[in-house]
A and B are shown apart, each in its own frame.
Chain A
Amino acid sequence: RKEVEQDPGPFNVPEGATVAFNCTYSNSASQSFFWYRQDCRKEPKLLMSVYSSGNEDGRFTAQLNRASQYISLLIRDSKLSDSATYLCVVNSKGGSYIPTFGRGTSLIVHP
């Protein structure tokens, strides 16, 4: 089993739709979690951190389920500009924080 797994997609949704991605991780000692966004031919940028209690930022909601070892990202009222690849990142402390990136989930929002 890969350390961090994501459905590569693409998820093809109309504007205004709600879409959700999951990301599973294998290391139960993982301590911090993030969602990054990567636009085509650009560097990844932090979208949001994922806290144990869950967190919301506008149309974006992230949740962590430690028991089942997955994190989720929910996007409400999708915009064309949300089209990108969403990367799940898991940090596991093994003497240092080495982040493990998922391969990403591609989202395409169409008119």
Chain B
Amino acid sequence: GAGVSQSPSNKVTEKGKDVELRCDPISGHTALYWYRQSLGQGLEFLIYFQGNSAPDKSGLPSDRFSAERTGGSVSTLTIQRTQQEDSAVYLCASSSWREGNEQFFGPGTRLTVL
């Protein structure tokens, strides 16, 4: 079946602009995670959804970052007033307890803030 998809694959924006990143998880996966990864660095946890609710938002780096999930499926990560330090690859993953909580990752969105 289809894996996790993310769009856009690449996004170049100017400092101060807002961006919206989209994640389509695997059908039936109730858990959805957002991470970001800077060049040569590890994965930084941002936010986790169980269904439509976000029990853990502790990783969001500032109030410029927000995320929502609707219908227990698609999620969007919004970054307002982007800064150059927001440049990174934003990865989405989904999982299901029926599959042992293995996380399946999307290909990521590479965000570049000029």
Contact = CB atoms under 8 A, between A and B. Distances in A.
A75 B105 CA distance: 23
A62 B16 CA distance: 46
Give the interface residue-count category, chain A. Answer: 20 to 34
A43 B101 contact: no
Interface of A: 32, 34, 36, 42-46, 49, 87, 89, 91, 95-104
A96 B49 CA distance: 10
A97 B102 contact: no
Contacts of B108: 43
A interface, over-half SS = strand
A43 B29 CA distance: 18
B20 to A, nearest CB: 20
A101 B31 contact: no
Contacts of B103: 34, 36, 44, 46, 89, 99
B25 interface: no
17 contacts: A34-B102, A36-B103, A43-B106, A43-B107, A44-B91, A44-B105, A45-B105, A49-B100, A87-B42, A87-B43, A96-B31, A96-B48, A96-B50, A96-B56, A97-B95, A97-B97, A98-B48
